[in-house]
Amino acid sequence: MRAAVFKEAGKPWVVEERPDPTPGDGEAVIKVGRCGICGTDLNMTSGKGYDFPCDTILGHEFSGEVVAIGKGVTSLKVGDRVTALPAAGCGACDMCRAGQVVMCPNMSPYAGGYAEYMRIAERTAVQLPAALSLNDGALVEPLAVGLHGVRLANLPLGAKVLVLGAGAVGLAATFWAKRLGAGRVVAASRSERRRDMALALGADDYVLTGEGEAERVTQALDGMPDYVFEAAGAVGLLQQSINLVKPNGHVISLGFCMAPDPVIPGISTFKQVKLTFSMAWTVPEFQYAVDMLDSGHVEPRHMITSNIGLDALPDMIETLRGPHNETKVHVDPWA
């Protein structure tokens, strides 16, 4: 099969021939339909110390059609259209029973969506209803990331919510906050670029960050935010969130910053801020995201800005490392 491979930091990705995968016990192989490019694909191939292993096929926001099933698989059959978590656990430990498969001590990664075929685990696969496209299926992972964070917030009805960052995860947090109890939701970003997108996903208003941001936020929300979702992952964003949130407020970090990000505990203490870090997703969250799209809440489709083939992926990765106008780029390995 053909696959786009991360070779090493600082070198372009390479499209090359790789052996077709075969399903192990409890696994299926899918013909990849779409795979979304994620910020972590850029950050964790940048040579800053937390990179994926060299010579790896990445891609963890995928959907596709089952073409082969392994031993013991009962819930999937050839022809099923599915998405799946890009990880599976042992299925038996405390973490797995809580649905937190990424924290299973025996977690196995199942990335590899930048290829014509890939393996998935039966245990983490979710069927796509007929009304949903393969593009929709590839939106489920980033939607589930936002959903997990919003669930950790446990929003009371009418809560005032600020989302810092209007990338895919911030947009997903906006979408879910609006559907899971929030009152006013305001999206904030450094640029105007994603204003329309944030409003389309449910934000009541959109403000620019920078000089005077606290006033703009308070005005747009008619008060300070009870909840701040940090969804940009840049250094300084945690303290910015703490500064903006209301006393006794809750900051939820979804940004996945991989550099030291200092906060002043005294300011957090004065405001008695609660700070939560949100990690990934669970199988029920994947299913819930699929069900929400299937019920007609297809606003997240606005996030998709480009569909490209495998051959265009190496150049797109380099484009996305600089200033660009994309939000969610979907790769169709068969285009």
Contact set with Zn ion (CB under 5 A): 38, 89-90, 93, 96, 104
Query: Distance (Å, rounded) from C-alpha 84 to C-alpha 127?
Result: 8
Please report how close the Cβ of residue 290 comes to Zn ion at its closest, in angstroms: 17
Please report how close the Cβ of residue 13 comes to Zn ion at its closest, in angstroms: 17
Nearer to Zn ion, 90 or 234 (CB): 90
Please report how close the Cβ of residue 61 comes to Zn ion at its closest, in angstroms: 5
Nearer to Zn ion, 42 or 335 (CB): 42
Please report how close the Cβ of residue 88 comes to Zn ion at its closest, in angstroms: 9
Please report how close the Cβ of residue 224 comes to Zn ion at its closest, in angstroms: 30
Query: Distance (Å, rounded) from C-alpha 279 to C-alpha 102?
Result: 8
Nearer to Zn ion, 38 or 231 (CB): 38
Query: Distance (Å, rounded) from C-alpha 144 to C-alpha 115?
Result: 22
Tell me phi and psi for residue 20, to 5 degrees. Answer: -65, 135
Please report how close the Cβ of residue 40 comes to Zn ion at its closest, in angstroms: 5
Computed on alpha carbons and rounded to an integer, the radius of gyration of the chain in Å comes to 20
Residue 219 contacts by C-beta under 8 Å, 6 or more apart in sequence? none
Nearer to Zn ion, 103 or 263 (CB): 103
Query: Distance (Å, rounded) from C-alpha 134 to C-alpha 21?
Result: 20
Nearer to Zn ion, 9 or 103 (CB): 103
Three-state secondary-structure class, residue 43: helix
Please report how close the Cβ of residue 101 comes to Zn ion at its closest, in angstroms: 7
Nearer to Zn ion, 60 or 216 (CB): 60
Query: Distance (Å, rounded) from C-alpha 32 to C-alpha 174?
Result: 28
Q: Are 328 and 175 in contact (CB under 8 A)?
A: no
In sequence order, what E strands does the chain have? 2-5, 14-17, 27-36, 61-69, 81-84, 87-88, 108-109, 117-121, 125-127, 161-164, 185-189, 205-208, 227-230, 250-253, 274-277, 304-309, 328-332
Q: Are 110 and 85 in contact (CB under 8 A)?
A: yes
Nearer to Zn ion, 22 or 106 (CB): 106
Which phi-psi region, left, alpha or beta, contains residue 270 (left: φ > 0; alpha: ψ -120 to 50)? alpha
